[in-house]
């Protein structure tokens, strides 16, 4: 149904025609009156005009949007720029006893607003006169930029601030910033890590905290107030860490070694009580630490052939598999031949050894034969269970993959049994030894405080309690009549194992360059702490008969370390041996000879 246009429509069309015929001048003159006239017949022109105005307005907005989107440096207010630029607050880091390891202090930083600086050359001249370490050319470039906010110098002293203030330069101001300080300098530096000038964690636990989003320093308007942040406690003990570093510094100089490292692990909880790796760095001024490969944390970034300390794993594997007992006899009369290779003993005995003798004489042949009893498959499975074939991940962001042989044959099993041919991070080896002696509970080492119950909840059993007790007995007997005598501190019932690995030089094992390790447990009947000390290329001293084996360097250092650290941790020396140190072994009629003092 279509309606024909009525007389009213005709009327509108006629009048419109009349309007378009009107002269331009008349239209302009009548524009205002027509704009505001409420007459319906004039609305078509008005609608066109409004549509045009709207189109112009939207075009303007669109052009502005495109120009804003295309510009690289969006104009920002000083407040926003400052909030994004200043380094945010970080939580304090405390040791396990509440001593400060890292904290924030307020410092002033000088900034400039280039757009508000009138004479840039004069400003550069005056500022560089007061702050001589600011590069004039670079500063001129920064001040010539179109930015609303640039730093002139971060973290100036109070005196420098005063002098800049007296220059009276417009467009130059001060902002309070947080500066991270490490009051203890290099003590524990590898664990604590450090931050950059923007207070962002670069290494160690500082980086870990950032990864945990405990701190997010660059949210605009982020709290600068450190009181709003709860301090974070680490498992480190500052005093024990200092004792460790002190002993290692002394040992490094005494044995003229290339590097030294050590750690103390609480085997009941997996907490790292102390960790040091020398040469180290001062986190207040890390400099080129990141680029310097000699300053790495050797305990979790370096991988090494652990030498004879690895025999503990081989013996535990043989004992736990049931293929050998402490009474088993191992033939070490002749060197062990395999194809073209011959395995010798460093302290050759040329007789049939018992399992404890394999350990105390550190017999390569014995360890290789014990590993062969279990076989290649079983050996691999055991080492994987002990976490030696996979990368160990702790809270520390830095870690290293172990170097595992690609084709693992019987020869590999034989050499790995006495610590050659498998490179692991020392912390990884400590984790395994801790599980061997703490009753068989495998737990990842941690740098945060952990209660014993929590540690047990996240651990899993890897060997039987009887095997664990056998290992404690073996380590104890090695301290009384084996190579660990230097660490046998009276009163602490110490057990230990030495390891001297020949370093590979030009593809061959070198006799002169060695890598020595020492692991000690105290007390051996109910271990609490596992000590590790290692030296890279220590030199033999004339008073030691020129020996550079682990007992003489790492062993001695561990001995003095135990003497210092055990009282610090509140453990007094016992005045008598424990009555029943190895109850399970005693029931089997074994283990009674561990406390015989003196070598056979």
Q: Which residues are catalytic?
A: 308
The CA distance from 154 to 167, in Å, is: 18
What does R_g of the chain's alpha carbons equal in angstroms?
A: 37
b/e code 510-528 from CB counts within 10 Å (16+ = b): eeebbbbbbbbbbbbbebb
Write the CB contacts of 272 (distance below 8 Å, at least 6 apart in sequence): 191, 235, 236, 263, 264, 265, 266, 427, 445, 446, 447
Give, for 505, the enclosing helix (H) or strand (E): strand 495-505
Report how far residue 297's alpha carbon sits from residue 304's, in angstroms, rounded to the nearest whole number: 13
Alpha carbons within 13 angstroms on the beta-carbon side of residue 186 total: 18
Please give the residue ranges that form the binding site for other proteins (CB under 8 A): 99-100, 103-106, 181, 183-185, 187, 225-227, 238-239, 242-243, 245-246, 489-491, 563-564, 567, 572-573, 575
Minimum CB distance to other proteins, residue 573 (Å): 5
Distance in Å, CB of 566 to other proteins, minimum: 8
The minimum distance between CB 172 and other proteins, in angstroms, equals 22
Give one DSSP letter per residue of 222-277, joined into a string.
----GGGS--EE-S--HHHHHHHHHHHHHHHHHTT-SEEEEEEEETTT-BEEEEEE
Alpha carbons 513 and 26: distance in angstroms, whole number: 107
Distance CA 134, CA 114 (A): 16
CB of 187 to other proteins, least distance (A): 7
CB of 242 to other proteins, least distance (A): 4
Query: Cβ of residue 488: shortest distance to other proteins, in angstroms?
Result: 13
**Which of 600, 584, 595, 599 has the alpha carbon at shortest distance from 326?**
584
- Nearer residue to other proteins within complex by CB, 94 or 324: 94
CA distances (Å), origin 93, targets 99, 126, 340: 9, 40, 55
Nearer to other proteins (CB atom), residue 73 or residue 579: 579
DSSP code of 540? Answer: P
Classify residue 553 by its DSSP letter. I
Q: What minimum distance in Å lies between the beta carbon of 369 and other proteins?
A: 40
Q: Which is nearer to other proteins, 159 or 350 (CB)?
A: 159
Planar angle of CA 483, 486, 488, nearest 5 degrees? 95
- Min. distance of Cβ 109 from other proteins in angstroms? 15
What DSSP element (H or E) covers 138? helix 136-144
Alpha carbon distance 471, 386 (integer Å) = 15
Q: Answer whether 476's CB lies under 8 Å from 493's CB.
A: yes
Task: Please identify, using beta-carbon distances, which residue of 461 and 574 lies nearer to other proteins.
Answer: 574
Taking the least distance from each CB to other proteins, the nearer of 173 and 440 is: 173
User: Is the CB of 187 or the CB of 303 nearer to other proteins?
Assistant: 187
List Cβ neighbours of 349 (8 Å cut-off, separation of 6 or more). 332, 357, 361, 363
Closer to other proteins at the Cβ: 92 or 502? 92
Task: Tell me how crowded residue 490 is: count the other CB atoms within 10 A of its CB.
Answer: 11
CB of 575 to other proteins, least distance (A): 8
Comparing CB distances to other proteins, the nearer of 243 and 432 is 243
267: closest CA among 398, 440, 385? Answer: 440
Cα–Cα distances in angstroms (integers) from residue 177 to residues 327, 468, 487, in the given order: 68, 53, 49
């Amino acid at each position: 149904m279509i309606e024909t246009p009525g007389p009213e429509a005709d009327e509108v069309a006629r009048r419109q025609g009349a309007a378009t015929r009107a002269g331009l001048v008349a239209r302009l003159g009548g524009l205002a009156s027509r704009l505001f006239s409420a007459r319906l017949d004039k609305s078509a022109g008005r609608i066109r005009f409004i549509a045009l105005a709207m189109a112009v307005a939207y075009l303007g907005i669109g052009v502005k949007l495109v120009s804003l989107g295309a510009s690289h440096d969006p104009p920002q207010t000083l407040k926003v720029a400052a909030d994004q630029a200043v380094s945010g607050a970080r939580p304090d880091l405390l040791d396990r006893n509440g001593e400060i390891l890292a904290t924030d202090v307020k410092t002033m930083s000088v900034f400039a607003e280039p757009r508000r600086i009138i004479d840039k050359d004069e400003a550069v001249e005056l500022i560089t006169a007061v702050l001589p370490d600011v590069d004039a050319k670079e500063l001129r470039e920064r001040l010539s930029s179109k930015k609303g906010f640039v730093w002139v110098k971060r973290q100036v002293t109070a005196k420098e601030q005063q002098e800049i203030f007296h220059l009276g330069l417009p467009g130059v101001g001060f902002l309070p910033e947080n500066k991270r300080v490490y009051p203890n300098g290099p003590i524990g530096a590898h664990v604590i890590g450090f931050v950059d000038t923007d207070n962002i964690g670069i290494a160690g636990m500082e980086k870990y905290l950032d990864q945990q989003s405990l701190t997010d320093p660059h949210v605009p308007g982020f709290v600068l107030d450190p009181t709003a942040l709860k301090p974070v406690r680490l498992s480190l003990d500052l005093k024990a860490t200092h004792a460790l570093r002190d002993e290692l510094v002394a040992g490094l100089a005494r044995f003229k070694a290339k590097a030294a490292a050590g750690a103390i692990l609480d085997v009941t909880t997996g907490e790292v009580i102390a960790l040091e790796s020398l040469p180290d760095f001062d986190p207040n001024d890390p400099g080129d630490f990141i680029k310097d490969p000699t300053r790495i944390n050797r305990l979790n970034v370096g991988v090494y052939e652990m030498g004879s300390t690895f025999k503990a794993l081989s013996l535990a594997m043989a004992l736990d598999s049931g293929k050998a007992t402490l009474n088993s006899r191992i033939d070490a009369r002749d060197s062990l031949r395999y194809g073209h290779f011959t395995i010798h003993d460093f302290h050759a005995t040329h007789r049939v050894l018992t399992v404890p003798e394999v350990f105390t004489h550190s017999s390569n042949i014995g360890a290789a034969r014990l590993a062969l009893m279990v076989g290649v498959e079983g050996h691999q499975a055991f080492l994987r269970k002990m976490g030696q074939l996979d990368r160990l991940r702790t809270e520390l962001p830095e870690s290293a993959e172990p170097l595992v042989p690609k084709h693992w044959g019987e020869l590999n099993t034989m050499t790995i049994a006495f610590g050659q041919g498998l490179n692991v991070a020392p912390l990884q080896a400590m984790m395994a030894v801790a599980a061997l002696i703490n009753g068989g509970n495998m737990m990842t080492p941690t740098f945060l405080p952990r209660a014993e119950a929590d540690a047990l909840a996240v651990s899993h059993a890897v060997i039987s309690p009887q095997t664990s007790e056998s290992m404690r007995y073996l380590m104890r007997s090695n301290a009384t009549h084996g190579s660990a005598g230097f660490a046998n501190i009276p009163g602490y019932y110490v057990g230990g194992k030495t390891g001297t690995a020949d370093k590979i030089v030009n593809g061959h094992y070198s006799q002169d360059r060695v890598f020595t390790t020492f692991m000690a447990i105290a007390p051996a009947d109910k271990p609490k702490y596992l000590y590790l000390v290692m030296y890279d290329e220590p030199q033999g001293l004339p008073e030691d008969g020129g020996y550079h084996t682990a007992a003489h360097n790492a062993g001695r250092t561990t001995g003095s370390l135990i003497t210092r650290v055990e009282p610090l941790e509140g453990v007094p020396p016992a005045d008598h041996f424990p009555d029943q140190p190895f109850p399970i072994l005693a029931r089997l009629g074994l283990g009674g000879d561990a406390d015989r003092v003196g070598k056979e």
